[in-house]
Amino acid sequence: MAVPLKFEIGHTVRLIDVHGREFKYYVRKVSADGWMFEPYDRPGELEFHSGESVFEVYFAGRLRYDGFDPAGITEARRAAMEIAYENHRPERRLRAERRLVFVRAIEKAMRSGDRKGVALVDAPKDVVKWRGDEWRREDQKRLDDAFAGRVAKGLTAPGDCAKIAKLMKVPCERTLWTWIKDYVAAGRSVVGLVPGAVGNHGSHLTADSEAAIQDFIEQHVSADELLRLGAAYKRYFKQEQKEKRTPAGRAAFIRRARAHLGGKRIDALTHGKRGARRLHAVSQAVEEPFWVNQQSEVDHVLFNVNLVDDASGVVLGRPWMSVVRERISGAPKGVHLSFLAPSWPTLSRALAHSVWPKDLSGYPDVTGDWPQHGISDEIITDRGMDMI
Residue 2 has pLDDT above 50, yes or no: no
Alpha-carbon span 96 to 76, nearest angstrom:
17
pLDDT tens per residue across span 55-83? 777 767 777 765 555 555 666 667 777 77
330 has pLDDT over 80: yes
In whole angstroms, give the CA distance from residue 114 to residue 260. 57
Longest dimension (CA), the chain: 112
Judged by DSSP in three states, 199 sits in coil
Bridge partners of residue 297, in order along the sequence? 325, 380
Query: Can you give the pLDDT at residue 75?
Result: 66
Cα separation, 171 vs 139, whole angstroms: 18
Residue 131 clears pLDDT 60, i.e. is over it: yes
In sequence order, which residues have a C-beta less than 8 Å from that of residue 296 and are 6 or more positions away?
A: 324, 325, 326, 327, 333, 354, 376, 378, 379, 380
Most confident of 122-126, 220-224, 230-234, 269-273: 122-126
Closest CA to 234 of 248, 214, 255: 248
Report the alpha-carbon distance of residue 53 to residue 25 in Å, rounded: 15
319, 301 in Cβ contact below 8 A? no
pLDDT of residue 174: 74
Lowest mean pLDDT among 83-87, 92-96, 158-162: 158-162
Which tens digits make up the pLDDT trace of 365-386?
877 777 778 888 888 877 666 6
Q: How many residues in total does the chain contain?
A: 388
Does position 309 have pLDDT exceeding 80, yes or no?
yes
Q: Stretch 101-105: mean pLDDT, rounded?
A: 89
CA distance 28 to 354: 74
* E-assigned strand segments in the chain: 12-16, 22-31, 34-39, 47-50, 63-66, 295-302, 307-308, 315-317, 320-326, 332-338, 378-380
Mean pLDDT of 291-301: 86
pLDDT given for residue 115 in this prediction: 67
| Residue 3 pLDDT | 41
Which bin fits 262, alpha (ψ -120 to 50), beta or left (φ > 0)?
Answer: left
Query: What is 11-66's CATH topology?
Result: SH3 type barrels. (2.30.30)
- Do 112 and 215 contact (CB within 8 A), yes or no? no
pLDDT of residue 4: 46
Residue 272 CA: distances (Å) to CA of 225, 264, 275: 15, 10, 5
Average model confidence (pLDDT) across the chain:
77
% of the chain at pLDDT higher than 70: 78
How does pLDDT run across 218-259, given as a tens digit for each residue? 777 765 555 567 778 888 888 888 888 778 888 888 778 777
Mean pLDDT of 129-149: 83
3-state secondary structure of 22: strand
CA distance 33 to 320: 84
Give yes or no for a contact between 334 and 355, defined as CB atoms under 8 angstroms apart.
yes
- Whether the predicted pLDDT of 197 surpasses 60: no
Model confidence at 25, in pLDDT bands (50, 70, 90)?
confident
Among the listed ranges 114-123, 236-245, 294-303, which one has the minimum average pLDDT value? Answer: 114-123
Confidence label for 6 from pLDDT (cuts 50, 70 and 90): low
Q: pLDDT, tens digit, for every residue of 332-375?
A: 888 999 888 888 888 888 888 888 888 777 788 877 777 778 88
pLDDT value for 198: 53
pLDDT, residue 34, reads 80
How do the domains of the chain map onto residue ranges?
11-66, 75-157+166-193, 207-274, 295-381
